[in-house]
Amino acid sequence: MTDLATIAEQLDRAATSRTATPQFGSDAGLDVPTAYRIQEAVVAHRLARGERPVGLKLGLTSRAKMAQMGVDEVIWGRLTDAMHIPDGGTISLADHIHPKAEPEVAFLVEGGAIAAVAPAIEVIDSRYIDFRFTLPEVIADNTSASGFVIGAWQPVPAGIDNLGVLLEVDGRTVQIGSTAAILGDPRRALAEAVRLAGAGGVELTDGSVLLAGAATAAVPLRPGAHVRVVVESLGTASLKAI
Ligand code: OOG
């Protein structure tokens, strides 16, 4: 059984040195509750460097993502201010290991309810070699969280359970999906996040952002790629990889 702090340090070092780490394997004896404690310790390294918590993300909320990653349980991770990329902004590939983009819907949480919604892009960057991990391993790695772009916040429309979602790279559509892929209706994401994170003693305070999980599989970011997410009725969010 490897010590929690050692695993957390190894994952933090992989992120800061942009060098993927091997999986910990079954000898590490990781289970899900332990993995969330490691995640907390991994994020504590970021907070110690001055980052601020700004919200939570869900992962593997769609069949497409579960199938892509071979893991079939909803997971959650922590977002910090340093992960925020302005809409239309750039990300430097040199600051990442092997980043991928996925189309999402973001919620602004106030008073325990969804106050606004926005189209979003999540940048995931597994700290494990080849983006391969077990369920506890990806949880320990803060569910691959690396960056996020949020488009313009919108008032909550009457229905967001079946909006078309496109992921475009350089103007070409590379993934097509629907918000229905996100737990059947992305609004469920709030209840799931409250339940899952609450079990870990973490709350969505006023002003928190919640990323509801990808609607389609993720696509690798290549140098110069211009990525745009279009969510029907909500608008767009974009970034450029340099
Ligand atoms: C895990 C994180 C997946 C999502 O939205 O499904 C995720 C991964 O695929 O590396 O964030």
Ordered by where they begin, the domains of the chain are 4-241 (3.90.850.10)
Q: Residue with the nearest Cα to atom 11 of ligand 1?
A: 59
For the CA of 68, the nearest atom of ligand 1:
9
Q: Select from 63, 104, 122, 182 the residue to mutate for testing ligand 1; criterion: most ligand atoms less than 8 Å from CB.
A: 122
Contacts of range 80-84, beta carbons closer than 8 Å, 24 or more positions apart: 80/43, 80/46, 80/47, 80/51, 80/52, 80/53, 80/54, 81/51, 81/52, 81/54, 82/46, 82/51, 83/54, 83/123, 83/145, 83/146, 83/147, 83/148, 84/54, 84/147, 84/148, 84/149, 84/150
- The protein residue with its alpha carbon nearest to ligand 1, atom 10, reads 144
CA of 82 to the centre of ligand 1 (A): 19
pLDDT tens-place string over residues 145-168: 999 999 999 998 888 888 999 999
| pLDDT (mean) for 98-119 | 95
Over residues 124-151, the pLDDT tens digits come to 999 999 999 999 999 999 999 999 999 9
How far is CA 46 from its chain centroid? 16
